[in-house]
Amino acid sequence: MSGKKQDPGLVESLRLAAVARRFYDQGASKLEIADEFGISRFKVARMLDAARESGIVKFEYHLPAPVDLVLSEKIRTAYRLDRVLVLERAPEPESREVARRKIGTLAARLLTEIITPGDVLGLSWARSVNAMTDAIKSLPRCPVVQLCGVQAGMDMRDRSVETVSRVASVSGGQAYPIFGPLVLPDRRTTETLRRQPGIAETFGQFKNLTKAVVSIGAWKPEESTVYDALDEAERGAIAKRGAKAEVSARLFDADGTPMSTGLAHHVLAISAEELLAVPEVIALGYTEPKAEAIDAVLRSGMVSTLITDAAAALPLLKLAEARPPA
178-219 pLDDT per residue, tens:
988 888 888 899 999 999 999 999 999 999 999 999 999 999
Q: What is the pLDDT of residue 125?
A: 82
**pLDDT of 167 over the 70 cut:** yes
Full set of structural domains in the chain with CATH: 10-54 (1.10.10.10), 69-322 (3.40.50.1360)
Distances (CA, A) of 169 to 139, 141, 164, 278, 323: 10, 9, 9, 23, 44
Measured distance CA(271)–CA(277) in Å, rounded: 10
268 and 187 Cβ atoms separated by less than 8 Å: no
Measured distance CA(172)–CA(78) in Å, rounded: 38
81 and 304 Cβ atoms separated by less than 8 Å: yes
The mean pLDDT of 166-185, rounded to a whole number, is 92
Q: Of 322, 324, 326, 290, whose CA–CA distance to 306 is shortest?
A: 290
Distances (CA, A) of 97 to 100, 101, 313: 5, 6, 18
Q: What is the pLDDT of residue 152?
A: 60
Greatest C-alpha distance within the chain: 81
Measured distance CA(266)–CA(230) in Å, rounded: 11
Beta strands in the chain (DSSP E): 83-87, 121-123, 144-146, 175-176, 211-215, 217-218, 243-247, 250-253, 280-284, 305-309
Find the helix packing angle between 160-171 and 127-135, rounded to 10°.
20
For residue 157, the tally of other CB atoms under 10 A from its CB is 10
The mean pLDDT of 138-167, rounded to a whole number, is 79
Higher pLDDT, 66 or 218: 218
DSSP H or E segment with residue 293: helix 291-299
